[in-house]
Structure 1
Amino acid sequence: MSGAKRYDEHTRLVEAMAETLGVDLAEETMAGRWTPEDMSATVNRCMGCTDPAQCKGWLTDNRDGAKETPGYCRNKDLLEAMRTRLVSA
């Protein structure tokens, strides 16, 4: 898979994981709490994952939402902190 396709795949995974947790990255961007640099860093961490297929399966199993990310997610702490902030707001 080319570098650009791989980056796009992981961008979709990050967006899907955020959505599954109830985090709207577009809204976070408009509110100034999420930048293109944040997204790039998050996608790059995701690209370090050795098993994106496992993530895809988890996302399919949790399409109705989840309260926490799977333990293996390289962005677990970041996404859960965002979710917690939004829930408590």
Structure 2
Amino acid sequence: MSGQNKYDEHAQLVEKMAETLGVDLTEEMMAGNWTPEDMQATVSRCLGCTDPAHCKGWLGENTAGADETPGYCRNKDLLEAMRTRLVSA
């Protein structure tokens, strides 16, 4: 897999994980709460994951949504904090 394809795969995983938690990253960007640099840093952390297939499986099992990410998610704290902020707003 080329470097760009791998980056794109992980960018999709980040977006799907956020969506599963009820966080719309595009809306967050439009509101000024999320920047392209934030996305790049988040995808970079995701790129360090050793088992993206497991993540894809978890996402497939949680299509109706979830209150938290799996414990192994490298972006767990960030995404859950975003979710908490949105839920309490």
| TM-score, normalised with respect to structure 2 | 1.00
Instruction: Give the structure 1 partner of residue 81 of structure 2.
Output: 81
> Match of 2:54, as an amino acid?
Q
Cα distance, 1:55 vs. partner? 0.1
> Which runs of structure 1 show a deviation greater than 3 angstroms over 4 or more consecutive aligned residues?
none
Instruction: Give the structure 2 partner of residue 48 of structure 1.
Output: 48
2 CA distance for matches of 1:4 and 1:63?
A: 26
1 CA distance for matches of 2:50 and 2:3?
A: 15
Identity, % of aligned positions: 80
Structure 2 alignment gaps of length 5 or more: none
Structure 1 alignment gaps of length 5 or more: none
1 CA distance for matches of 2:33 and 2:85?
A: 11
1:56-82 CA deviation, whole Å, 9 max, x = no partner? 000000000000000000000000000
